[in-house]
Amino acid sequence: MSVVSASPIASPVVSTPVAKPSLQAIGLTKEYGIVRAVENLNFTVARGEIVGFLGPNGAGKSTTMRIFAGLLEATSGRAYVSGIPVASAPDEAKRRLGFMPEQNPLPDEMRVLEYLRFRARLKEIPGRKIAARVDTAMELCGLQHKSRRKIIGTLSKGYRQRVGIADAILAEPEVILMDEPTIGLDPKQILDIRRLIDSLRGRLTVLISSHILAEIEACCDRVMIINQGRLVAAGTTANLRREFFPRTQWRLRLRGDPVALEQLLPGIEAGLRLVVCSTADGDGFAEIRLEGPAHNPDLGENILAALMQHPGWRVREFAQVEPGLEQIFLAATKQGDEPLTPPVRRGK
């Protein structure tokens, strides 16, 4: 397996001020007793990128984020935020990072405005800039009008998430980590959060973990998939699709002889074959799936042209089947035993 856009780092990299990645993990490992939550994790996230961080439950996403946020100490390896090592300079790293934890803990007794002002002071925003920064964050998160003076405990789940995001972006940090920001939200609220993340594109680096894969596919520049604490895939959705699904599939509804079709296919392209054929419906149309090599972009047109030339055959539907992030995720986590980075032996 190869990496397309997020190459695993084979050796420690000394960051230069010019090309400092926003996030960098080098051989990051976290053990809880005999359990390895994160194992030899290597990745970089460049400045301004929005990266989806995916993995099944217990894969190590939250652990990785908490290590970057300075809430957990890694057992071994190094984590850098804007080139600053989190382990040896946690306060400096925290000044460059906004973190929205999975549970989005907020004090129920405080008002939204009051809470954000308190957090702004705690994040060392200069006094004269606090009002403006709080207003900007509230405006971005849609909290400016209705919820400004509401008590946090009375807010809906969606608005609580907005307060959490407003807190994360308040100090205008270089990096924002969001652990499941859309968990428990309704589709409209999810759309609002997606718009909000989109509005941060190019200004801030965002690492976002979520189980809603359509969400990640829609708003992230690329994705990283971890399984059992190890990075198993990284890259753009298109690259991962090519990597995990090297053969292209087409779905068609055809009235014709499937046996004749099967004989016709090798003539169109070597390696093209019929994989599924359903029984014909009342009109005589059967649903058929074809599979062929992905290297020829014109293959779809060639198939269609060959079908149309055949006398007596009728095509009602013809479409290329594109595996979504969900299929890629399942394929990547299924192959979790083949990580991008070689496993580290216990006890070193």
Partner 1 sequence: MRHYPLLLAHELRMLAVSVATYCAAVLFLLLMGLIYFLVLYGYNSQIESDPPMAQYFQLFFIPVFFVVPLLTMKSLADERRHGTLEAMLTTPATTLEIILAKYSAAYLFYISLWALTLLFPYIALWFLPGVRDDSPLRDTASLAGGYLFVAASGLLYIALGILASSLTRNTLVAGMLSFSMLFVLIMCGYLSRHMALQDSWLIHAQAAVDYLQTFRTLEDFSRGIVDTRPFFLYASNTILVLGVTTLVIESRATA
Binding site for partner 1 (CB under 8 A): 32, 69-73, 91, 94-95, 97, 99, 101, 103, 105-107, 109, 118-119, 121-124, 167
Q: Which is nearer to partner 1, 94 or 133 (CB)?
A: 94
Q: Are 78 and 27 in contact (CB under 8 A)?
A: yes
Q: Least Å distance between CB 17 and partner 1? A: 22
Q: Least Å distance between CB 251 and partner 1? A: 46
Backbone φ/ψ region at 184: left (φ over 0), alpha (ψ -120 to 50), beta: left
Q: How far apart are CA 4 and CA 252, in angstroms?
A: 31
- As given in the structure block, the two tokens for residue 36 are 């390895």
Q: Which is nearer to partner 1, 3 or 120 (CB)?
A: 120
Pairing outcome for strands 222-227 and 230-235: antiparallel
Any idea what DSSP says for residue 274?
Answer: E
Q: Which is nearer to partner 1, 105 or 342 (CB)?
A: 105
Angle 199-203-206 from CA coordinates, rounded to 5°: 80
Q: Which is nearer to partner 1, 151 or 277 (CB)?
A: 151
Q: CA neighbours within 13 Å on the CB side: how many for 98?
A: 26
Q: How far apart are CA 245 and CA 334, in angstroms?
A: 13
Q: Are 232 and 339 in contact (CB under 8 A)?
A: yes
Q: Which is nearer to partner 1, 50 or 67 (CB)?
A: 67
Q: Least Å distance between CB 98 and partner 1? A: 8
Q: Least Å distance between CB 121 and partner 1? A: 5
Any idea what DSSP says for residue 111?
Answer: B
Any idea what DSSP says for residue 72?
Answer: S
CA dist 177 → 61, 66, 111, 130, 221 (Å) = 11, 9, 24, 22, 15
Q: Which is nearer to partner 1, 122 or 308 (CB)?
A: 122
Q: Least Å distance between CB 319 and partner 1? A: 46
Q: Which is nearer to partner 1, 110 or 344 (CB)?
A: 110
Q: Are 59 and 138 in contact (CB under 8 A)?
A: no
Q: Least Å distance between CB 71 and partner 1? A: 6
Q: Least Å distance between CB 143 and partner 1? A: 17
